[in-house]
C-alpha cells in the first residue's frame, strides 16, 4: 500500500506544481492565488473523500491512498506559511491577513461542503 500512497503523492505534487504555475501565470503573483486555489480545492476534495469513506462508499485503502497520498501532496501548508511571511515582509499586511483568514475559512468550509455533498 505504501507504494500506492507514494504514487498518489507524486500525482498530487505534480498537479499542485503545474496548476500553481498556470494559475500564477494567469492571475499574477501579487496575491498567492495558486496556493490559495489549490489548498481550497484540496480541502473540498478531502471532504468528498472523507464523506464517501464515512458513508461506506470508499474503501479504507482508497481513503488512505487518495486522502493521505494525493491530497497530502496536492495541498501545501509550508508554501502557505512561506507566502504569508513573504507578504508580511513586503508590508502587505492586509493581503497577508486576507490570505490567512480566507484560506482557513474557505478550506474548512470546502471540506465541510465536500462531506455534505456525499451525505
The DSSP letter of residue 91 is T
Is 76 known as a binding-site position?
no
Q: CA dist 13 to 8, 58, 91, 112, Å? A: 9, 22, 30, 23
Cα torsion at 98, 72, 12, 54 (round to 10°)?
-100
The position carrying cell 497577508 is: 96
Binding residues for Na(+): 72, 75
Positions at the binding site: 72, 75
Amino acid at each position: 500500500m505504501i507504494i500506492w500512497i507514494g504514487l498518489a503523492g507524486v500525482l498530487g505534487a505534480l498537479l499542485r506544481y503545474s496548476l500553481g504555475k498556470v494559475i500564477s501565470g494567469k492571475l499574477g503573483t501579487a496575491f498567492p492565488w495558486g496556493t490559495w486555489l489549490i489548498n481550497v480545492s484540496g480541502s473540498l476534495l478531502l471532504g468528498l473523500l472523507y464523506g464517501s469513506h464515512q458513508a461506506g462508499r470508499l474503501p479504507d485503502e482508497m481513503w488512505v491512498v487518495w486522502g493521505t497520498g494525493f491530497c497530502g501532496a496536492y495541498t501545501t501548508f509550508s508554501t502557505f506559511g512561506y507566502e504569508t511571511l513573504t507578504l508580511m515582509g513586503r508590508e502587505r499586511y492586509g493581503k497577508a491577513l486576507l490570505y490567512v483568514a480566507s484560506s482557513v475559512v474557505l478550506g474548512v468550509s470546502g471540506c465541510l461542503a465536500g462531506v455534505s455533498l456525499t451525505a
